[in-house]
């Protein structure tokens, strides 16, 4: 009986559409596309499954996530205007000439599918706007700083410093196999990165990754594929070179993740026509070989290491000396800063837990609140699980009480990756809740965030897997 019900599901779905339970203007072809996709919500996350051709995948994504995509665009337009005093349409126009012509045809077809579906749902957008959405980090944090002084002298921009990640293998882990952990650190007012997307493309490898509504890539960059690859990244802090004639990072990341079968292929695809946008230290593992690697992708300089025994860490400090000295403004010794303090903490945790690391310890690492500058446990900007909202003192260019910090936690080991599963926690890796109205009342200097800053209640660690239906 169960098999019969599952077999009938696509037809029941189509029948429901025809009867007007959703938009009756859908064509038979579009209805057929949607029958292969699904969306459900779990512990603060939105799970989205899409499959098929690029246009089909995009249509499924745009149709099922239209409200969330509309909200993501609204929030980014408010943040962009506050940051620069420029209108959202202006940055969309710039992206149309800098990014859109360099996005590969398959990715553009997926984006076009989203635009088509969103129009049916009453959300009007364009290919260029969706490209700007996908490439907002590259445009806001890399292109804009490279041109703002010539266009508008003395226009300030707070540097991006985010994410805490590690990957370990061999003698470092309890079973000798790969363990990967990552948390996203960003501004609390930015669009929610609470989407788990399962992509089954007609060509290439299946992908299960964290993402943001409307994105064809991860952006927060935590993924596994059926090729046996697992990956994460942390931003290279203080990075400044940008090449507007290179290919967008978001397009290269999606292409590499979908088509690479091993670490070398993935890294080669990321390096090809690199524009320097969203410069990251990528932590990659291959569960087939038990090998891990770190690709630090600058613009002119590239750092690469690989090993089958040991670990790599990421905390926004470039390890490659050429990148650190020639392409960043970072001081790797100032432990008052978040990146350096977290770098020291990662080394402490790796040393103290050699031979014991598993997914449960990885969850604890990502939720760690130890401040290596103060030498005590206290959540703040210098803890692996970041909480800038509690920082009362100014270190360097940091602003007191900024609503920035850790948005989530994700962990995976080789056995989970083989089964296309990982564990994730939405809200904060430590589980500490954030109440927007309470924060804004206590810190009225951030009043401009009313309407974009949102609550993030405590949520549990949750297992996700490819092929979920509920």
SS3 43: coil
Name the pLDDT band for 1 (thresholds 50, 70, 90): very low
Assigned domain for 5 exists: no
Average pLDDT of the residues in 292-308: 98
Three-state secondary structure of 384-439: CCCEHHHCCCCCCCCCCCCCEEECEEEEEEHHHHHCCEEEEEECCCCCCCECHHHH
Nearest Cα to 72, choosing from 394, 459, 454, 433? 454
Q: How many domains would you assign to the chain?
A: 1
Structure tokens that stand for 343 in this block: 């770098």
Q: In which residue are the tokens 């449960």 written?
A: 360
Assigned domain for 229 exists: yes
Average pLDDT of the residues in 422-445: 98
Average model confidence (pLDDT) across the chain: 92
Assigned domain for 459 exists: yes
Tens digits of residue pLDDT in 170-217: 999 999 999 999 999 999 999 999 999 999 999 999 999 999 999 999
Tens digits of residue pLDDT in 252-287: 999 999 999 999 999 999 999 999 999 999 999 999
Q: Put residue 318 in one of left, alpha, beta given phi > 0 → left and psi -120 to 50 → alpha.
A: beta
Counting every residue, how long is the chain?
470
How is 211-268 classified by DSSP, letter by letter?
A: E-TT-SS-SS-EEEETTSEEEEEEE-TTB----TTSB-HHHHHHHHHHH--SHHHHHH
Assigned domain for 18 exists: no
Assigned domain for 139 exists: no
Nearest Cα to 191, choosing from 156, 223, 160, 219? 219
Assigned domain for 406 exists: yes
Name the pLDDT band for 363 (thresholds 50, 70, 90): very high
67 or 394: which leads in pLDDT: 67
Tens digits of residue pLDDT in 306-321: 999 999 999 999 999 9
CATH number for position 235: 3.60.60.20
Tens digits of residue pLDDT in 15-62: 444 333 457 889 999 999 999 999 999 999 999 999 999 999 999 999
Tens digits of residue pLDDT in 109-151: 999 999 999 999 999 999 999 999 999 999 999 999 888 876 6
How is 329-390 classified by DSSP, letter by letter?
A: ---TT-TTSHHHHHHHHHHHHHHHTTTTB-HHHHHHHHT--EETTTTEE--STTSSS-BGGG
Q: What percent of the chain has pLDDT over 70?
A: 91
Tens digits of residue pLDDT in 222-255: 999 999 999 999 999 999 999 999 999 999 999 9
- Whole-angstrom CA distances from 446 to 87, 243, 349 are 20, 33, 35
Q: What is the pLDDT of residue 78?
A: 96
Nearest Cα to 324, choosing from 279, 294, 266? 279
Structure tokens that stand for 419 in this block: 């089964």
Nearest Cα to 364, choosing from 383, 337, 341? 383
Nearest Cα to 191, choosing from 209, 166, 210? 210
**φ and ψ at 425, to 5 degrees?**
-130, 125
Full domain range(s) for residue 230: 164-464
Structure tokens that stand for 77 in this block: 């337009």
Assigned domain for 359 exists: yes
Q: How far apart are the C-alpha atoms of 388 and 403, rounded to whole Å?
A: 6
Assigned domain for 344 exists: yes
pTM, to two decimals: 0.93
Q: How far apart are the C-alpha atoms of 229 and 417, rounded to whole Å?
A: 8
Q: Give the chain's largest Cα–Cα span.
A: 70
Q: How far apart are the C-alpha atoms of 169 and 171, rounded to whole Å?
A: 6
Average pLDDT of the residues in 280-306: 98
Do the beta carbons of residue 210 and residue 222 sit within 8 Å? yes
């Amino acid at each position: 009986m169960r098999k019969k019900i599952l077999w009938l599901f696509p037809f029941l779905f189509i029948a429901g559409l025809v009867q007007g339970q959703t938009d009756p203007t859908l064509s038979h072809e579009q209805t057929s596309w949607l029958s292969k996709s699904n969306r459900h919500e779990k512990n603060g996350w939105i799970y989205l499954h899409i499959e098929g051709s690029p246009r089909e995948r995009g249509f499924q994504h745009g149709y099922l996530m239209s409200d969330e995509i509309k909200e993501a665009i609204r929030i980014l337009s408010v943040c962009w205007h506050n940051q620069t005093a420029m209108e959202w349409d202006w940055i969309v126009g710039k992206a149309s000439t800098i990014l859109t012509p360099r996005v590969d045809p398959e990715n553009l077809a997926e984006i076009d599918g989203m635009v088509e579906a969103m129009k049916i749902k009453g959300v009007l957008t364009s290919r260029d706007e969706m490209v700007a959405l996908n490439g907002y980090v590259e445009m806001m944090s890399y292109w804009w700083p490279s041109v703002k002084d010539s266009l508008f002298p003395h226009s300030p921009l707070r540097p991006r410093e985010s994410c805490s990640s590690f990957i370990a293998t061999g003698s470092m882990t309890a079973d000798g196999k790969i363990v990967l952990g990552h948390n996203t650190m960003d501004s609390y007012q930015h669009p929610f990165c609470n989407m788990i997307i399962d992509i089954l493309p007609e060509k290439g490898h299946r992908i299960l990754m964290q993402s943001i509504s409307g994105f064809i890539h991860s952006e927060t960059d935590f993924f596994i594929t059926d090729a046996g690859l697992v990956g994460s990244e942390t931003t290279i802090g203080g990075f400044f070179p940008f090449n507007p004639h290179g290919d967008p990072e978001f397009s290269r990341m999606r292409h590499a993740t979908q088509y690479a079968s091993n670490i070398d292929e993935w890294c080669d695809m990321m390096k090809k026509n690199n524009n320097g946008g969203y410069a990251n230290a990528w932590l990659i593992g291959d569960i087939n070989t038990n090998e891990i690697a770190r690709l630090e992708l600058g613009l002119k300089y590239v750092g690469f290491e690989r090993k089958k025994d040991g670990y790599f860490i990421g905390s926004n400090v470039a390890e490659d000396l050429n990148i650190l000295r020639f392409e960043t403004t970072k001081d790797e010794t100032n432990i008052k800063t978040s990146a350096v303090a977290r770098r020291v903490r990662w080394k402490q945790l790796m040393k103290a837990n050699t031979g014991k690391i598993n997914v449960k310890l990885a969850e604890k690492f990502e939720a760690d609140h130890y401040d290596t500058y103060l030498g005590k446990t206290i959540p703040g900007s210098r803890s692996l699980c970041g909480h800038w909202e509690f920082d009362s003192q100014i270190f360097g260019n940091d602003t007191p009480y900024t609503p920035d910090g850790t948005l989530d936690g994700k962990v995976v080991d080789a056995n989970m990756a083989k089964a296309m599963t990982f564990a994730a926690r939405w809200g904060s890796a430590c589980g500490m809740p954030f109440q927007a109205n309470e924060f804004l009342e206590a810190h009225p200097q951030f009043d401009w965030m009313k309407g974009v800053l949102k609550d993030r209640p405590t949520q549990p660690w949750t297992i996700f897997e490819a092929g979920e239906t509920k």
